[in-house]
A and B are shown apart, each in its own frame.
Chain A
Amino acid sequence: MKTSLPFAERSSHSTGSTCPDAAYTLGELHAGAPCCVPEPVITVENLSLNYGRKPALEAVSIDIYRGCITALIGPSGCGKTSFLSALNRLTDMIAGCRINGTIRFEGHDIYEPGNDVRQLRRDIGMIFQNPTPFPLSIRRNIELPLREHGIRKQAELDERIYQVLRDVGLWDEVKDRLNDPAMALSGGQQQRLCIARALALRPKVLLMDEPCSALDPISSGMVEDLIQSLAGRYTVVIVTHNLAQARRIANYAGLFWVTERAGQLIEFGRCRQIFAQPAHELTAAYISGARG
């Protein structure tokens, strides 16, 4: 049930600017026009995922488009988080988790034997539901993964730390206490720090697993604005239970539903179409609040 979209989808956030052909992949947050193009950066074909004998996902096929925000919605337990974890092979950590089907990232099968998982995870960052800063200083939280990936010059480290903290709107709040413990930050600040930490590695894709649901409304709003500002520069896949949020920020949306056997992707398409004219009756029922 792969849905292909023959027409170009410009991000709703770009104010009339067009996508320059080569420059749409990435860029600094403050530079250039945001851009969302219907060119798959991740292609999932016929993915099924089992925990031991228990199937969690079945026959999922979906294209994740470059520079776009794709929202995955659906009731709890329908495999959205499992799906997200399969995209950066975090499922490798779960004993008994088996995956069939293919996931291609920029044309390469990520489950091919001998692949560099660490490079994959550098390219595909992930944000979790609960903020997970490490019990280190704010600075060290960002430095640790950077050093791990070979960036060791202090000037470059400082530059990146400044850049990402500014991009997530945390710089003015923490610039005088970079050596203070990250655990002392508020929940919303912690989550923004986690996003900064992921951005520091300059990933191509960001996976977000309900990044706002553990936050208070004001922090949640700030994080949502931040995600919106990432549109076009990063490819974002976000799992959310907040339908209004999905509608506000996403270019594309997919509805997962748990059938009698396992979670499945019921419908995928442009966000506006999913919310305005859902093709599947379950989608219509879910977004209207009648089911789920």
Chain B
Amino acid sequence: MISSKRNTLSLSTADRRLGAILGLLAVTAAMVAVSILFFLIDESRPLLNRISPARLILDASWHPTQGLYDLSPMLSATLLASLGALLLAVPVGIGSALFGRYYAAAWLTAGYRRMIELLAGIPSVVYGFWGLTMLAPWIGRFEPPGVSLLTAILVLAIMILPTVALTADAALAAVPQSRHRCAAALGLSRWTAISGVLLPSARKGIVSGILLAAARAVGETMAVLMVAGNVVQHPHGLFDPVRTLAANIALEMAYAGGDHRAALFASGLVLLCIVLILAGTVQWYKARDFYDQK
């Protein structure tokens, strides 16, 4: 491969200037990410210097003004809500991408894709509002109070569905047409071609999209805050109200001070770590994928 960094083209003055400007912009973006990480560490240090980090999940409860910093109910609510949303959104998202690409008529696909893109563009507060006024009362009729883990899962699932569907669609679109033709030339049925050849070919992109969607679900704040009920407890069932880590920060930051404030920054740090783990998994998965090396 020809490296674009060390090519033999000589650089003009304008090129050098452009390079310098672009470099500066890239450094700025990277610095913002790094500085947020340091900011979180720095702000949560007053607390973490005095107590062991283990107490963040081992304390008896979340009463930060009384020196109890148990984040585990909110951590479990965050993880369960995200996992539930993924369980719903992944099959529907991949299914809809397959339908749009291989089964639907062209006009239907185009309209359908616009709808999914629209879904991606709806602000999260609107989802929350819809969940609060329509979904929660409906669920509440079966099992009060209605605002619950289940409501959060459903709203989150709808919110991350476009991410899964659009990345899966893009990954399928990037599969070389030759593989499709070759599968057909071997007399494979449409479903065998899809399940045996095209999905494995698009595997990398689809999995990356799922992990991105997971990161979005973990960090989603406003919509979840509006529909989850915000009770700090380990959920025992789908109808229990819960509070996620992100919602907790948003709810309490206005009045928190001292160690309470530091504990909120620590929960932000935990959130960031989860997202970093997801992003790292994407990188690892992409580098690892055994069957598609080129």
Residues in A lying within 8 Å of B, measured CB to CB: 88, 90, 93, 95, 117-122, 125-126, 128, 130, 132, 134-137, 144-145, 148-149, 181-184, 194, 197-198, 201
Contacts and interface: CB of A to CB of B under 8 A. Distances in A.
B31 to A, nearest CB: 39
Contact of B187 (A93, A132, A134, A201): A201
B187 A122 contact: yes
A134 B292 CA distance: 9
A145 B187 contact: yes
B34 interface: no
Given A121-B186, A126-B182, 15 more contacts: A93-B180, A93-B181, A118-B188, A119-B187, A120-B187, A125-B185, A132-B179, A132-B182, A135-B292, A136-B196, A137-B291, A144-B188, A148-B189, A148-B196, A201-B187
Interface string B102-119: 000010000000000000
Given A134-B179, A137-B291, A181-B292, A201 B186 contact: yes
Given A128-B178, A134-B196, A144-B196, A121 B184 contact: yes
A90 B184 contact: yes
Given A134-B201, A137-B291, A144-B196, A125 B186 contact: yes
A183 B293 contact: yes
Contacts of B196: 134, 136, 144, 148
Contact of A181 (B180, B192, B293): B293
B178 A132 contact: yes
A194 B187 CA distance: 14
Interface of B: 106, 176, 178-189, 192, 196-197, 200-201, 203, 290-294
A198 B182 CA distance: 10
Contacts, number: 81
Contacts of A120: 187
Contacts of A119: 187
Nearest to B203: A135
A122 B192 CA distance: 14
Contacts of B293: 181, 183-184
A88 B185 CA distance: 7
B192 to A, nearest CB: 5
Contacts of A148: 186-189, 192, 196
B200 A90 contact: no
A145 B186 contact: yes
Nearest to B195: A144
A134 B189 CA distance: 15
11 contacts: A95-B106, A118-B187, A121-B186, A126-B185, A128-B181, A134-B196, A135-B291, A136-B200, A136-B291, A181-B293, A183-B293
A194 to B, nearest CB: 8
B197 A149 contact: no
Q: 5 closest A-B pairs (Cβ-Cβ)?
A: A121-B187, A126-B185, A132-B182, A118-B187, A135-B292
Nearest to A197: B186
A95 B187 CA distance: 19
Contacts of B178: 128, 130, 132
Nearest to B185: A126
Contacts of A128: 178, 181-182, 185
Contacts of A117: 187
A91 B121 CA distance: 39
